Amino acid sequence: MDLGDIVKGSPPPAVVHKPKPHDSAAKHMTGEAVYVDDIRTPAGTLHAAPGYAPIAAGRVTKLDLDAVRKAPGVVDVLTADDIPGANDASPKGIGDEPVITPERIMFYGQVLFVVLAETRDQARRAARLARAATAPGMPMIDVDDAVVADSTVLPDYTFERGTPEDEIASAPRQLGGEFRIGGQEHFYLEGQVALAVPGEDGDMYVYSSTQHPSEVQHVVAHVLGLDSNAVTVEVRRMGGGFGGKESQATQWAVIAALGVRKTGRPCKIRLDRDDDMMMTGKRHDFRVDYKVGFSREGGIRGVDVTFAARCGYSEDLSLGVVDRTMFHADSGYFYPTVRILARRMRTNTVSNTAFRGFGGPQGKLFAERMIDHIAYSVGRDPLDVRKANLYGGAGRDRTPYNMRVEDNILPEIVNELERTSDYRDRRRALAEFNASSPVLKKGIALTPVKFGISFTLMHLNQAGALVHVYRDGSISLNHGGTEMGQGLFVKVAQVVAEEFGQELDRVKITATATDKVPNTGPTAASAGTDLNAQAAMAACRAIKERLFDFIEQEWGVGRDSVQFREGKVIIGNRAMDFGELAELAYRNRVSLSSTGFYKTPKITWDREKATGQPFFYFAYGAACSEVTIDTMTGEMRVNRVDILHDVGKSLNPAIDIGQIEGGFVQGMGWLTTEELVWDSAGRLMTHAPSTYKIPTASDVPEDFRVALYESGGNRADTIYRSKAVGEPPLMLATSVFSAILDAIISLKPAVMPRLDAPATPEAIMRAIRATGAGDP
Amino acid sequence: MSTIALKVNGKDVSAEVEDRTLLVELLREELKLTGTHIGCDTSQCGACVVHVDGVAMKSCTMFAIQADGAEIRTIEGVAQQGALHPMQAAFAEHHGLQCGFCTPGMIMTAIDMVRRLGSDLDEATIRHELEGNICRCTGYQNIVKAIQAGARAMASQ
């Protein structure tokens, strides 16, 4: 073999684009993978349990903790008075989320005190013994309460183009409506948990199940009155996150650290599931009011929509979440004139937060609801109205925030799925079925997804990595992203292995830790791989630059004649093990360690003026769902789902298909079975999986066809031309919601009933009754 | 407090337990077998499934004292002599996991499913049998595939 020939061509990638298993798969098989609750705790570790407010609004007038302190095993009790620094767990440090509330109660379940005991059981039992005297206020529970009271966490915000009210008024057809979109509990299978261990000089080492270790670090420091360099936060993996551990993990890590500060002993907290569901934020629920003007064929002329979001008692991430609702209120459709107004309502409920899609799914659901409404009113197949309103070329390519959609592939994706799902034939077959089936009715819908990739808070679009090569050629990888099951770690490791031409098993993936890579953003916005893989590649390339220089100096071979591949380094006509080169480089005093940094190029966003290009690119997809409903009971089954989704050139198709399947089912749960219910006193009535219905295996359609869209890759210059995949597939599930509506409409065509999300059997029955079908 | 004697993953174990100590607490806190997970605390999610005398059981729904004299197998005892059980191998091969938190319970349930229903499992049966095991990540597709493949592999062993 003439090695000289080999180095001329660039070899195809050997590790990226391959369906590599999750990096921890083997450990998950045997139970060896360690979550925070599995870490062997140091001797003397205390366990913390929260005591909480028994009302949704008002004040604590007296908190009697005598019985708590005297309970077996209790070592200490934390109250607001024990907080040395700022009593604030809010992500922005604006003081609206007390770690332990001193007096004022803002939601049912707010933490009033924390018990520290020898065992978790003792701490939880003791927490029940507190006697709190309260002066209750009048709680605002849902969006309507807050609208009446004009109570908001942030000012209203609007996107506006043209004069939609004029266009709507002068359009041949107009319609409007109101509907509700429910929230969603994350139900990460591993609940909130943290373990804090004291170090020297008052330092704190915190193991936290968090998507945002840097924020936990900064808030712990802020609350304890320490510099950030005194606090280290580590997370190897989470048992699911879905956005529920972006800001919501912080409070519990802070409480563990406060326990350490007060007692000098290690301290752990793992929330009971019912407490977790009661005390941590969820997906925002909305009231949506809209008006639209359109042509006789259903072409949209103007849209005027108002979103009112239940944000809960504090701001948390509601600025970005509800902005993203606005950014995605277009789904994939061009609105010639438009006004999108969003109101962020403050209520006496838990503070709603990030959840996969970050507000986007709610915006998109509105758009699909509106399109369905238009289609049924003009008597056209909703798919035809969808296609007629998709973004197009010049003149039809500006979003409501005036960004040009330059990479649109929705027409191609929708057409291809229409064909592969056999939509038209099935539409005809379904009409025949419905004509002969008095009770069971079928519906079908094909809906597009267009999701903007980048954090809309610009400074979060950065990442860091740290790569070491050891003298034996083994590689250690660290970066600021966190692993919650999404496969980020294996994807980044694939990129690193590819850079050095090594097998994947030569790359050791290490736990995310704030003392290795500092000042990171949350692992969120689907951007984990886009950001961290680029940072890791930059670190690898810095090391390779030094190796190229060393090789040139040692053997006189230029970089064009050097390749890292198949475990070897090929240097002109010479091949050596990577480890051999590493050893030689070490002996010649070449540094084999580097940090890497990446910031997303091109993006700009001026929120004040609502202009810029907030997204580096869009991820696209489409889904076609068919359902059957029982019009006597409201029961619903999804019969078949076809998905075509765009992940660019996939870094790991097995991981990406898993994200698509899982995202779709999670979205389907949000829109069909997962219903959050608060009573008028502000108590969450659905605080366990017994009453809050998460999809099980039997809820998933047996006929579930997922395909990746074949493309030349992302048009934006992303890592190996791949696309982000974490959140977009969740929105494919709006096809189920539209299909349910389609089935209901078949009872009485052209009567558009109100259908709220989730479309539970009760909601479906309400909609059926609203059509007046079967009325004499 | 009572003293109980049981066999866990083939080893004799005796332990002092309170009457209200749950089996999962004994396994995780005393025996440090942390592969058995606690997801919902209320016997619904199935992350804590172990085998008690060969039968799948949610270990958060059983007192440790009820396991006196029983033979317990946890996820740590499924692989034999360092070789993965065919069901474990099938979950790995078919990407039957994402965050991995539900995986041990899924595997224990799957092995018991094959014991009760045989190795020729159709998809509808598997889906019905999995109603006591929640996975929040995968949408179950790869889990169902893995169980079908694992069941077949168990038969050919």
Reported ipTM: the value is 0.98
- Please report the pLDDT score of residue A1 as a whole number: 37
Which residues sit opposite A598 in a β-bridge?
A463
Name every chain B residue with its beta carbon within 8 A of the beta carbon of A670. Answer: none
Substitution target in A189, A236, A704, A736 with the highest count of B β-carbons within 10 Å is A189
* Residue A684 · residue A277 · CB < 8 Å: yes
Which residues sit opposite A78 in a β-bridge?
A114
Burial class (CB in 10 A: 0-12, 13-18, 19+), A566: middle
Rounded to whole angstroms, the Cα distance separating A281 from A284 reads 9
Same domain assignment for residues B91 and B149: yes
Instruction: Report residue A368 as tokens.
Output: 């699909």
* Tens-digit pLDDT profile for residues A531-554: 999 999 999 999 999 999 999 999
Same domain assignment for residues B53 and B103: no
Same domain assignment for residues B72 and B110: no
* Tens-digit pLDDT profile for residues B128-148: 999 999 999 999 999 999 999
Instruction: Report residue A52 as tokens.
Output: 């909480």
Instruction: Report residue A637 as tokens.
Output: 């089954």
Using alpha carbons, list the distances in angstroms from residue A772 to A361, A630, A696, A744, A763: 30, 16, 33, 11, 15
* Residue A515 · residue A232 · CB < 8 Å: yes
Name every chain A residue with its beta carbon within 8 A of the beta carbon of B104. Answer: 28, 31
Rounded to whole angstroms, the Cα distance separating A526 from A241 reads 12
Q: Choose among A696, A698, A483, A667: nearest CA to B45.
A: A696
Is the Cβ pair A698, B128 closer than 8 Å?
Answer: yes
B8 touches chain A (CB under 8 A): no
Is the Cβ pair B102, A654 closer than 8 Å?
Answer: no
Using alpha carbons, list the distances in angstroms from residue A667 to A325, A350, A508, A611, A659: 15, 22, 34, 30, 12
Cα of B30 to nearest chain A Cα, Å: 11
Triad A389, A392, A393: Cα angle to 5°: 155
A408-455+610-776 under CATH 3.30.365.10, yes or no: yes
The answer, yes or no, to whether the previous bond of A758 is cis (omega within 30 of 0) is: yes
Is the Cβ pair B128, A700 closer than 8 Å?
Answer: no
* Residue A245 · residue A238 · CB < 8 Å: yes
Residue where one domain finishes, among candidates B31, B55, B76: B76
Same domain assignment for residues B65 and B6: yes
Name every chain A residue with its beta carbon within 8 A of the beta carbon of B124. Answer: 702
CB-nearest to A658 from B95, B124, B127 is B95
Cα of B5 to nearest chain A Cα, Å: 23
Instruction: Say if B103 falls within a structural domain.
Output: yes
Phi-psi region of A114 (alpha: psi -120 to 50; beta: other; left: phi over 0): beta
Residue in the structure block whose two tokens are 């000098």: A264
Q: How many CB pairs under 8 A join A and B?
A: 179
Instruction: Say if B57 falls within a structural domain.
Output: yes
Same domain assignment for residues B72 and B90: no
Rounded to whole angstroms, the Cα distance separating A447 from A423 reads 12
Rounded to whole angstroms, the Cα distance separating A623 from A414 reads 8
Residue where one domain finishes, among candidates B28, B57, B76: B76
User: Which residues span the domain enclosing B25?
Assistant: 2-76
Instruction: Say if B81 falls within a structural domain.
Output: no
Rounded to whole angstroms, the Cα distance separating A371 from A373 reads 5
- Please report the pLDDT score of residue A702 as a whole number: 82
- For residue A386, the Cα-to-chain-centroid distance in whole angstroms is 26
Residues of chain A below pLDDT 50: 1-8, 776
* Residue A353 · residue A321 · CB < 8 Å: yes
Residues of A identified as active-site: 727
Q: Determine the residue of chain B that is closest to A356 in CA distance.
A: B137
Q: Where are the domains of chain A?
A: 3-17+462-599, 408-455+610-776
Same domain assignment for residues B46 and B8: yes
- Please report the pLDDT score of residue A559 as a whole number: 96
Instruction: Say if B26 falls within a structural domain.
Output: yes
Is the Cβ pair B134, A189 closer than 8 Å?
Answer: yes
Tell me the DSSP string of A341-376. Answer: EEEEEE-SS------TTTTHHHHHHHHHHHHHHHHH
Same domain assignment for residues B40 and B69: yes
* Residue A376 · residue A309 · CB < 8 Å: no
Rounded to whole angstroms, the Cα distance separating A705 from A577 reads 44
Tell me the DSSP string of A249-267. Answer: THHHHHHHHHHHHHHSS-E
Query: CB-side exposure of A317: number of CA atoms within 13 Å?
Result: 31
Rounded to whole angstroms, the Cα distance separating A751 from A384 reads 19
Using alpha carbons, list the distances in angstroms from residue A272 to A64, A111, A701: 23, 14, 32
Q: What element of type H or E holds A332?
A: none
Q: Choose among A482, A600, A481, A597: nearest CA to A540.
A: A597
Any idea what DSSP says for residue A402?
-
Instruction: Say if B12 falls within a structural domain.
Output: yes
Instruction: Say if B24 falls within a structural domain.
Output: yes
Domain count, chain B: 2
- What phi and psi values does residue B150 have, to the nearest 5 degrees? -65, -40
- What phi and psi values does residue A240 have, to the nearest 5 degrees? 95, 145
Tell me the DSSP string of A713-759. Answer: --SS--GGGB---SSGGGGGGHHHHHHHHHHHHTTSTT-----PBS-
Rounded to whole angstroms, the Cα distance separating B100 from A222 reads 33
**Amino acid occupying residue B51:** H
Other Cβ atoms within 10 Å of A395 Cβ, number = 8
Q: Do domains A3-17+462-599 and A408-455+610-776 have the same CATH topology?
A: yes
Same domain assignment for residues B71 and B7: yes
Substitution target in A28, A272, A491, A668 with the highest count of B β-carbons within 10 Å is A28
Q: Would you call B104 helix, strand, or coil by DSSP? A: helix
**E strand segments, A392-534:** 440-453, 462-469, 475-479, 507-509, 512-513
Query: In chain B, what's the furthest Cα-to-Cα distance?
Result: 46
**Amino acid occupying residue A314:** S
Is the Cβ pair A702, B127 closer than 8 Å?
Answer: yes
* Residue B50 · residue B36 · CB < 8 Å: yes
A3-17+462-599 under CATH 3.40.50.150, yes or no: no
Name every chain B residue with its beta carbon within 8 A of the beta carbon of A698. Answer: 127-128, 130-131
Name every chain B residue with its beta carbon within 8 A of the beta carbon of A22. Answer: 95, 97-98, 100
Same domain assignment for residues B62 and B92: no
Question: Taking the complete model, does pTM exceed 0.80, yes or no?
Answer: yes
Q: What element of type H or E holds A605?
A: strand A604-606
Instruction: Report residue B17 as tokens.
Output: 């337990």
Is the Cβ pair A690, B127 closer than 8 Å?
Answer: no
Is the Cβ pair A25, B127 closer than 8 Å?
Answer: no
CATH code, B54 = 3.10.20.30
* Residue B142 · residue A665 · CB < 8 Å: no
Buried b (16+ CB within 10 A) or exposed e, A54-86: bbbbbbbeebebeebeebebbbbbbbbebbebb
B50 touches chain A (CB under 8 A): no
* Tens-digit pLDDT profile for residues B49-76: 999 999 999 999 999 999 999 999 999 9
Residue where one domain finishes, among candidates B50, B76, B102: B76
B122 touches chain A (CB under 8 A): no
Same domain assignment for residues B72 and B92: no
Cα of A91 to nearest chain B Cα, Å: 25
Instruction: Say if B32 falls within a structural domain.
Output: yes
Name every chain A residue with its beta carbon within 8 A of the beta carbon of B45. Answer: 189, 689
* Tens-digit pLDDT profile for residues B81-101: 989 999 999 999 999 999 999
- Please report the pLDDT score of residue A5 as a whole number: 42
